[in-house]
């Protein structure tokens, strides 16, 4: 029986299991079993939804660029992006000689409901919240995209992978097994038309 876990990776924690020589927090620090591998990492200074599993086939389909599964981020950037900057983000920007795929980019009118950030942030008057949906996963892609159009990222939270969303009641550092409903949503996204057997969730438990 495969296991599927959803976690809120906090700011300042690495998306790895082995011990960090600099003493920074890791997935092992959070108590996540080493048998579970993340479906796409988050940077040290990023936070939010981390999906982990020991189901190698599903992990492959979630992470291989061919399948183009969407990932949704709430992104706080410095300044007020112009219509031109937003159009660039949507169309794709040049990063190390390669243009990013088109992205969905939306300006949020208010501050999203998120846990407090552990660092001092610029005042709201100097920043803008964006919702960005990507269908590829390059290293530090969101930060490089916003930086390329002149608006550095100061906070980045992944809130969805496909239709699987970060639970509102999951605090930074907490994790739990997917519920039966969440697992069904995940497998329907990853295996359309039922081309693979259904998974079976373990009993839902919460950890922190």
Catalytic residues: 43
| Packed helices 56-63 and 180-190: angle between N→C axes, nearest 10 degrees | 60
- 3-state SS class at 129: strand
What is the Cα 193 distance to its own chain's centre? 25
- What whole-number distance in Å separates Cα of residue 101 and Cα of residue 104? 10
Number of alpha carbons in the 13 Å side-chain half-sphere of residue 190: 23
Strands 47-53 and 153-161: parallel
Bridge partners for 48 per DSSP: 9, 158
- 3-state SS class at 153: strand
For the record, the structure tokens of 53 come out as 């599993």
For the record, the structure tokens of 9 come out as 């990776």
- What whole-number distance in Å separates Cα of residue 176 and Cα of residue 170? 9
């Amino acid at each position: 029986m495969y296991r599927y876990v959803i976690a809120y990776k906090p700011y300042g924690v690495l998306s790895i299991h082995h011990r960090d020589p600099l003493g920074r927090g890791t997935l092992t620090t959070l108590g996540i079993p080493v048998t579970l591998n993340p479906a796409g990492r988050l940077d040290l200074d990023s936070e939010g939804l981390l999906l982990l599993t020991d189901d190698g086939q599903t992990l492959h389909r979630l992470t291989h660029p061919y399948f183009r599964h969407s990932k949704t981020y709430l992104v706080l950037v410095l300044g007020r992006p112009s219509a031109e900057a937003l159009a660039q983000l949507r169309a794709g920007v040049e990063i190390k000689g390669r243009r990013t795929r088109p992205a969905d980019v939306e300006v949020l009118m208010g501050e999203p409901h998120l846990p407090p950030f552990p660092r001092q942030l610029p005042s709201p008057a100097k920043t803008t919240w964006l919702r960005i949906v990507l269908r590829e996963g390059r290293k530090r892609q969101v930060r490089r995209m916003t930086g390329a159009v002149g608006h550095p990222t100061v906070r980045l939270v992944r809130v969805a992978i496909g239709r699987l969303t970060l639970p509102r009641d999951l605090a930074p550092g907490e994790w739990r097994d997917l519920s039966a409903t969440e697992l069904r949503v995940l497998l329907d996204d990853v295996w359309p038309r039922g081309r693979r057997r259904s998974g079976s969730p373990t009993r839902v438990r919460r950890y922190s």
